[in-house]
Amino acid sequence: MWEKMTKILGTDPILILGLLMSVGFSGMAGAARPNVIVIYTDDQGYGDVGALNPKAKFETPNMDRLAKEGIAFTNGHSADSVCTPSRYALLTGRYSWRTERKSGVMGSEGKCLIADGRLTLASMFKKNGYHTAMVGKWHLGMDFPGKPGDRDWSQAVHDMPLDKGFDYFYGVPASLNYGILAWFEGRHAKVPPTMRTSKKKNPRYLDYRIMPPYQEAGGGQSMEVAPDFIDNQCLTRFTDKAIAWMEGKGADAKSGKPFFLYLPFTSPHYPVCPLPEFHGQGKAGAYGEFVIETDHHVGRILDFLKSAGLEENTLIVFTSDNGPENSWQSRLGETGHDSRGGFREGKRSPYEGGHRVPFLLRWPAGIVEPGRRWDGAVGQVDLLATFAAVLGADLPDQAGEDSQSFAAVLREAKADYRRLPLINHGNGGGENRYTITAGDWKLLLPAGKKDVELYNLAEDLSEEKNLAKEEPEIVAELKAKITRIVLQGRTTPGAPQPNDTGYWQDLTWMSEADFTEGAADGIQAPATEQE
């Protein structure tokens, strides 16, 4: 560690010590290693947590408990405003637009976006002696046996969670509007998806349902589905399996071999399908009921940890992959519930409502002064470096290139911590628009017919007053920063790393020649600037 830091910062011990403290390295390695659970919801807006939105039209007591007994990060961000790229960034500590996927989401089937050999949360924990499991929605690509209409489900699935650092997997390949729909455990579907279906009308919401009756193969329906698959069973099954797996690892956790659990729920993403026992709860219709059901399962996890004697030294992160689906508009008009939490727009948008999400962290044994809020920027992309700092583990240069540890915030209520410039990405409507936020300033780069925009978030959280013409120097400074972050293949200090592709058209503020020349120069000299 010392040798690596001196390469970056020189031999000044005061400077090195200051950086170590700022990233939370000091004091963490000597503590008992915690169990770690990441609960990842789907399309849940900032305003869908009572602790973050006092005007919410439903209650979320278990999510609120995470905030009350931990830290509510009020300026926490997904890396993107849609699903697949956010999940890639959360698991790898690297922005998805550095890969070949520059926009959109994946289907169920395809080459996994996480390259073989790339460090993930799971492989990092595994290398440090942890049991690792993923239960829930993957949505990063899987290699299924055969092709639609010609499957051999006795064969194993490859290029999936078990190949990316997880010891155990139970879940579904992607969002429920994509085939293939079955309950996969390990490398096989428990009941093979040998039937076909398409979306069915949802009598309780404006979206759709995935539920029987299904058709035999060849019936012209679009999605492959297992005969026992029903959409409204996801949350119960995932929580049941997660608890069963933790029960099996509980003794090890108490004797020095902790566990890491990644629990990505499918709610409140479409189909909005709360179980009947939640009908009528809250004042935001079926959507509110679905969030209430989600909160119930968060409570089940908390109850298990307490009953198993694992509560004190389990670190839980609760967050969402992007802002709320466009139905937030009708919900706001009909019920008065604002899933955005007052921010501008929602899912797919580059504005705050697209990527500022619930971000709650609870760790009774490790958080100083629980019950507080942290208003400084943090990103889901930062979890890899943060967890590494908690464990006292080093990250190689070619891993977690955009991940900055905020572990110092856990142990110090007034930590001197500032996020390096944070990149977010609007993803939809034909405009893949980049943003960079540094301190109070947020710059939206041009895309399509939309010109550059600049907002001072300290004074204008709703992003209403574009200051780009009034502050040209800040615009130029932020453009230079995002250009450096793109070209050097990383945000953090360290040896520059290559992006997975050459120039792409969404980099509207630079030419292909500038990209090629800058990338070549960047690979020659390490980035050491601390913003």
Give the model confidence (pLDDT) of 407-418 as tens digits: 999 999 999 999
Mean pLDDT of the chain: 92
Q: In this structure, what is the dihedral angle of CA atoms 269, 134, 161, 321, given to the nearest 10 degrees?
A: 30
Longest alpha-carbon distance in the chain = 71
DSSP single-letter state for residue 414: T
Q: Rounded to whole angstroms, how far apart are CA atoms 257 and 239?
A: 22
Task: Give me the numbers of helices (H) and strands (E) for the chain, helices first please.
Answer: 13, 21
Helix (H) or strand (E) holding 469: none
Provide the pLDDT confidence category of residue 1 given band limits of 50, 70 and 90.
very low
Q: How far apart are CA 232 and CA 274, in angstroms?
A: 6
pTM metric for this prediction: 0.93
Task: Take residue 111 and report the two structure tokens written for it.
Answer: 């080459």
CA distance readout (Å), 473 to 295, 467, 478 = 45, 11, 9
Residue 67 has pLDDT above 70, yes or no: yes
| Lowest-confidence region among 45-54, 140-149, 215-224 | 215-224
pLDDT at 231: 98
Helix-, strand-, coil-residue percentages of the chain, each rounded to 5: 30, 20, 50
Residue with tokens 């020189």: 10
The residue with greater pLDDT, 484 or 26, is: 484
Residue with tokens 């390096």: 420
Q: What is the C-alpha to C-alpha distance for residues 112 and 166, in angstroms, rounded to an integer? A: 14
CA distance 59 to 168: 33
- Stated as kind and residue range, the H or E segment containing 471 is none
Is pLDDT at 520 greater than 80 in this prediction? no
Do 230 and 176 form a contact (C-beta atoms < 8 A)?
no
Domains of the chain with bracketed CATH: 31-137+229-411 (3.40.720.10), 433-524 (3.30.1120.10)
Closest CA to 80 of 430, 375, 380: 380
Q: How confident is residue 15, by pLDDT bands cut at 50, 70 and 90?
A: very low
Inter-helix orientation angle 285-307/234-254, to 10° = 20
Report the C-alpha gap between 177 and 396 in whole angstroms. Answer: 37
